[in-house]
Amino acid sequence: MKRIAALLCVLCLLAVPVQGEALTVDAESCILMEKETGEVLYAENEHEQLEPASVTKVMTILLVMEAIDGGTLRYEDMVTVSANAASMGGSQVYLKENEQMSVEDLLKAVCVASGNDAAVALGEHIAGSIENFVAKMNQRAKELGMNDTTFLNCTGLPAEGHVTSAYDIALMSRELVLNHPDVRRFTTIWMDSLRDGAFTLSNTNRLVRYYEGCTGLKTGSTDSALYCLSATAERDGMELIAVVLKSPTSTQRFESAKALLNYGFSLYSLTKVAPEQVLPAVPVRLGSKDYVQPVLGEGSTLLLEKETAANLTQELHLAEELQAPVEEGQQIGELLVTAGGEQVASIPIVAGETVARLTYGQILTKFLRMAFMVKSFHE
């Protein structure tokens, strides 16, 4: 740990990469990913299949948020707790059979207190049965490219064959925080309550209180999985995801996540590239419009080492003329971004609108109109 602290001090002071120096993390597996680009900044054994414990619930939360944002579920909907949900052991909020609780409170219970009973209640409500919900979890995992993952439950309670990897957890964590930012209302809670204040909730993720910029996300621990964590934090407009699996102690998992996050924040930054000049309209031959306005395409947000980001130059390449038809989004140029003579990125310049090709009749009409204007001018 002293070695980690010393390394991070150097990194913070210099804000440049330390060549040949590896980051030490006290865990079987780990990964550090940037949210916007999905780029991996650091990883060790990131595809090793391990038990995730309650970090499993990131997928449970993701499916709940997708249902809410998709309009098939509402925060205010009331859920009736089944006997199965009420029977869940481990971390729980002590739901009773037939007790009714809102989706919002159940989601809060999952995000803050890691309630197994709340997770099962939500899963049953969404899919009709926990078996159907777990099938949805595995289907969504496949869609996200989580090839190391097999879910057998929605809680993370021990089950032989229930495995994932640090890389896969980073993928589903990224999907959650990138596309469902409202989840922060729950994942950043330190203390709250349920049942009109009768039941106190305290976040299992202590980074929420003690790490600057922490936005979540989910802890987990069992005797076999040991201590796991998917931690998210944002500083200066950049959000990082640090996943730690099978750490020996609770303290070590949090310190390892902090080390990963500190490493990322000290070395990297997100830079949004914009053209240094207004992009000129490009002439279009035989088009329904004479010009098309170019716009910057995707990929203008770059994840760069801070030293590189401070020394960027641009070179614009744009078509001098286009032949109709021109489709919206069609590439018509590129913005080359370099640093120290080395190319950093090539960002496409695309057509901002569609310009149809003139028909023969329209061409003839346009020609006659121009001829008439020329004749009128000479008269």
CB neighbour list of residue 362: distance below 8 Å, 6 or more residues apart: 288
Cβ-based neighbour number of residue 71 at 10 Å: 7
Determine whether 114 is an active site residue.
yes
> Contact at 8 Å (CB) between 183 and 174?
no
Distance CA 157, CA 89 (A): 9
Active-site pick, 29, 82, 91, 114 = 114
Is residue 57 flagged as an active site residue?
yes
CB atoms within 10 A of CB 131: 12
Which residue out of 29, 35, 54, 108 is catalytically annotated?
A: 54
Question: Cα dist. 218→61, 193, 299, 336 in Å?
Answer: 10, 18, 29, 39
State the helix-helix crossing angle for 250-267 and 2-14, rounded to 10 degrees.
Answer: 20
Dihedral of the alpha carbons of 277, 279, 280, 281, in degrees to the nearest 10: -170
Q: What letter represents residue 343's amino acid? A: Q
Catalogue the E-assigned strands of the chain.
29-34, 40-44, 78-80, 100-102, 191-194, 199-202, 214-222, 226-235, 238-247, 268-272, 282-285, 291-292, 294-296, 301-305, 312-318, 322-323, 331-339, 342-351
Q: How many CA atoms lie within 13 A of 49 on its CB side?
A: 10
* CB atoms near residue 28 (< 10 Å): 18
Q: How far is CA 158 from CA 53, 136, 225, in A?
A: 7, 19, 8
31 three-class SS: strand
CA 170 – CA 242 distance, rounded (Å): 7
**Per annotation, catalytic residue among 35, 57, 136, 246:** 57
Give phi and psi for 121, each to the nearest 5.
Answer: -60, -45
Task: Please give the single-letter amino acid code of residue 254.
Answer: F
Which residues are known catalytic residues?
A: 54, 57, 114
